[in-house]
Amino acid sequence: MLFAFSIAPSGSDDGDGSVGAAVAEAVRVVRESGLPNETTSMFTTIESDTWDEGMAVVKRAVEAVTAVSPRVSLVLKADIRPGHRGQLQAKVDRVEQHLREPGA
């Protein structure tokens, strides 16, 4: 199962409005979970074997941001496909394969 999510505080003490420090705390939780993960400019994606395992990491990441902000926004998207592993990269590989095909 893949869980793509974005967690951000509702405001920032940083002069330029950056929420990077708070987001880093959420990403730290994700990386410490040991689950396969990827962070991009807009989302962090994790891969877990079960719903409970993945959602537990999302919850801890939200709690990490809540510790530094009284209001937090969460956007969550899940690809629930039990029995499939390695999809964090495999899904991208399948798209890249199609792009390499003639006429793509």
State pLDDT tens for residues 7-42: 998 876 666 767 888 999 999 999 999 999 999 999
d(CA 15, CA 24): 17
Domains of the chain and CATH, by start: 2-100 (3.30.70.930)
Structure tokens at 11: 């405001």
For 47-53, what is the mean pLDDT? Answer: 95
Q: How confident is the model at residue 70 (pLDDT cuts 50, 70, 90)?
A: confident
Which alpha helices (H) appear in 1-104, and where do they start and end? 20-33, 51-66, 87-100
d(CA 6, CA 65): 11
Q: What is the pLDDT of residue 12?
A: 64
